Amino acid sequence: DTMISLPGLALATGRPEIARDILATFAGFISEGMLPNRFPDAGQAPEYNTVDAALWYFEAVRAYLDDTGDKGFISEIFPALESIIDFYTKGTRYGIKADPKDGLLYAGQEGVQLTWMDAKVGDKVITPRMGKPVEVNALWYSALRSMSAFARAAGKPSAEFDSAGDLALYGFGRFWNDKSGCCFDVLDGPGGNDPALRPNQIFAVCLSSSPLDPGRQKKVVDACAGKLLTSHGLRSLTPDSPAYKGVYGGDQSSRDGAYHQGTVWGWLIGPFAVAHMKVYGDAGKAKGFLRPMLDHMKAAGVGSMSEIFDGDPPMRPRGCIAQAWTVGEVLRAFAEIDKMSRIKR
């Protein structure tokens, strides 16, 4: 959550010193290439149970470097960044390891939820997504390209990261599903390749280094717009899926069962708006996807933005009334669209 929220909350708001402090602090907690997913109460050890936190760390560091040009900081944390790439390549907890054949990142272990879709009811993982998840590999590819840039900024060799990025780019082609005209959600899972249309593939478009060509980027945006887009975010699953849950409510078991099975996530409107701007170049329309969230600031947690919304109309706000991811991604998207618009001119 911290790494996803940081660019919007700290950089888009003109507070890079806060971003630097957070990034430096987390560098000290990297363990076997992983960032902690949670810091429990005092006296307890951090929990390392997520595949993507370390990859979002690269995105946050890249955003900080782009914002500040602070190459000295990159040199300072370079060993920590290098350790992440090394452990993810050779293997770390929960079966996380780059496949030497296609360069893609595999992650998964029975009974453990490793991606951001991490709901669990008792011993049942609702969206296990074992295998090679699409957003994890979009982030992995972007991290490798960022690492090449970090190496050059720190005066280090970059050839190893360049080669790994090239292989991951080649391997990412396997995600394309000609039948649906968009990406598989997960490759090489226990049941094969998962064709479910979820919002995770939007990251293969919106990240600074996309592993998709422009034509496929546009098809992904159109696919997400067609069945997942709402006024306040993207649905976590399409309404025509048999597993779709359109209302987030009931007891905890019912709520957790719907959490990533159709529930709309507010933070995803940021990546979608940036991706739309990237492929269509229409800043006004891209910002238009974000503006309902500004009206929403008067509707639930006054002055802030909600975590989630029902997938079915009227898409009532649910969950946390003030969610860092949502606020951060809306702020970042507005700033990113402005930046892209200036570059385009």
Q: What is the mean pLDDT of residues 322-333?
A: 98
C-alpha–C-alpha distance, residues 329 and 266, integer Å: 9
Question: Is the pLDDT at 327 greater than 90, yes or no?
Answer: yes
Q: Above pLDDT 70, what percent of the chain? A: 99
Pairing assessment for the beta strands 182-183 and 186-189 based on DSSP bridges = unpaired
In the prediction, which pLDDT does 343 show?
82
186-245 confidence digits (pLDDT tens): 999 999 999 999 999 999 999 999 999 999 999 999 999 999 999 999 999 999 999 999
In the prediction, which pLDDT does 345 show?
67
Of the pLDDT bands very low, low, confident and very high (cuts 50, 70, 90), residue 156 is very high
In the prediction, which pLDDT does 159 show?
98
Query: Which residue do the tokens 């739309």 mark?
Result: 276
56-96 confidence digits (pLDDT tens): 999 999 999 999 999 999 999 999 999 999 999 999 999 99
In the prediction, which pLDDT does 43 show?
76
In the prediction, which pLDDT does 111 show?
86
In which element (H, E) is residue 139 found? Answer: helix 134-153
Question: What's the whole-number average pLDDT of the chain?
Answer: 96
- Phi (first) and psi of residue 158, to 5 degrees: -115, -5
In the prediction, which pLDDT does 257 show?
95
Instruction: Note if the bond before 314 is cis, omega within 30 degrees.
Output: yes
C-alpha–C-alpha distance, residues 199 and 264, integer Å: 10
Asked if residues 141 and 211 have their Cβ atoms less than 8 Å apart, the reply is yes
Q: What is the mean pLDDT of residues 15-27?
A: 98
Strand partners, 105: 98
Of the pLDDT bands very low, low, confident and very high (cuts 50, 70, 90), residue 331 is very high
Residue 97's SS3 state is: strand
* 4, 46, 247, 265 from 318: Cα distances, Å: 20, 28, 9, 10
Of the pLDDT bands very low, low, confident and very high (cuts 50, 70, 90), residue 123 is confident
Q: What is the mean pLDDT of residues 22-42?
A: 93
Q: Above pLDDT 90, what percent of the chain? A: 93
